[in-house]
Structure 1
């Protein structure tokens, strides 16, 4: 009998707990299914789905390869710019908030208050922020950038806090014992430990923001979302196909590059 089999045999039996958990999951699943309403599923919906698929197969190539402000390449570039700038601004603002909410850096009451603020920021969906900023700044890419920045702050701060609280305190204690100043401790003890992980998390957030930026266009916050919804409302399925193909290609490219960069950073 090997070690793995011994561990399996010695593992405590949780039959009752497993059965109760399974029953609760099944109850919630059945309750969730009651919210599914198929009465509105008609032949017209099937026809629209076929038209969308036909539009993807036969896209409007003029729109797909036109390099003016109405073309897919320009709209995709605008979407990338919104997501990128929003991520940069959100990362810059999230770093000090993360340090202020880390209990191993600041007093616990201060960390608790900042964490409550960040929880509040995270509870509001991106599309709600988008509608709010459109009222303040007017429709356009700037509203999208501000929305992406605010949405990024909530998630990035939470992940940054987890990284900060896992700092190797022995390094800081060693630097303090040899008489290093607070700035030197930050420069040589904290930044080297955090830099790679912070960059990796920020790239991951950019990947998410790129998808959110496409959705924000639906409410007028710039990017490719607005032309997509206009084309769908006008039943221009070939234009819808061009935009969807452009989005898929863009997301695949960004996904590939971001994974490459993150792996390179984490591995050093």
Structure 2
């Protein structure tokens, strides 16, 4: 009997705890099932689902390959631009907030207050921010950019903090011992440790924002979401199919490219 088997046999038996956990999970599942209401599930819903599938199979090729402001390619580029600019602005604002909420960089009371602010930012859904900014700036891509930026700050700051708190402090102590200035410590001690992971996190967030930007179009914040909901409300299923095909292709391409870039960054790190 090897050491691993001995350690496994010596593990305490938690039968009671496991049974209690399983019962609690079962209760939550049964409670959740009570919210399922199939009374509104009608034949009309099945017909709509069938029409959407037929629209994907027989899309409106004119809309799919038209390069004017009403065509799918233009709307996809606009959606990409909204997600990209929103991610960049959010990342720039998230960096100082991340350092201010890192307990190994600033005093703990300051870190706690900044983290509390970031938690409050993350609690509000993106679509709520979208509705708020539309009231301020009016409908359009600018409201989408502001929404993407604000929703990105919360998540990016949280992930940045995790990376900052894993900094190798011995490097900073070595640089300080040889008389390096604070700028030199940041340039040669902090940035080389953080840059690859920061970039990987930003790319991951852009991938998420691309999907959120399409949803924000539903409330008028620019992008491809608004034409999609208009086509569905007008029962123009071939146009719905064209928009969905373009959206699926765009997300697939962006995800493949972002995964390759992130893998290279992480390996390099």
- Under TM normalisation by the shorter chain, which class is it? over 0.9
Q: CA deviation at 1:2?
A: 3.6
- SS of residue paired to 1:41: coil
Q: CA RMSD, aligned part only?
A: 0.7
Which residue number corresponds to residue 243 of structure 1?
Answer: 243
Which residue number corresponds to residue 206 of structure 2?
Answer: 206
Show structure 2 runs of 5+ residues with no match.
Answer: none
Distance in 2 of aligned mates of 1:22 and 1:75 = 48
Matches within 5 A, 1:6-21: 6-21=6-21
Distance in 1 of aligned mates of 2:80 and 2:260 = 18
- SS of residue paired to 1:89: helix
Distance in 1 of aligned mates of 2:83 and 2:48 = 31
Establish whether residue 97 from structure 1 lines up as the match of residue 97 from structure 2.
yes
Which residue number corresponds to residue 255 of structure 1?
Answer: 255
- SS of residue paired to 2:166: coil
Matches within 5 A, 1:110-149: 110-149=110-149
Show structure 1 runs of 5+ residues with no match.
Answer: none
Distance in 1 of aligned mates of 2:7 and 2:87 = 46
Aligned length: 268
Q: CA deviation at 1:158?
A: 0.4
Establish whether residue 195 from structure 1 lines up as the match of residue 190 from structure 2.
no
Distance in 2 of aligned mates of 1:4 and 1:77 = 55
Establish whether residue 216 from structure 1 lines up as the match of residue 216 from structure 2.
yes
Distance in 2 of aligned mates of 1:239 and 1:6 = 64
Q: CA deviation at 1:11?
A: 1.9
TM-score (norm 2): 0.98
CA offsets per residue over residues 63-93 of structure 1, 9 Å max, x none? 1111110000000000000000000000000
Matches within 5 A, 1:150-165: 150-165=150-165
Q: CA deviation at 1:168?
A: 0.5
Which residue number corresponds to residue 265 of structure 1?
Answer: 265
TM-score (norm 1): 0.99
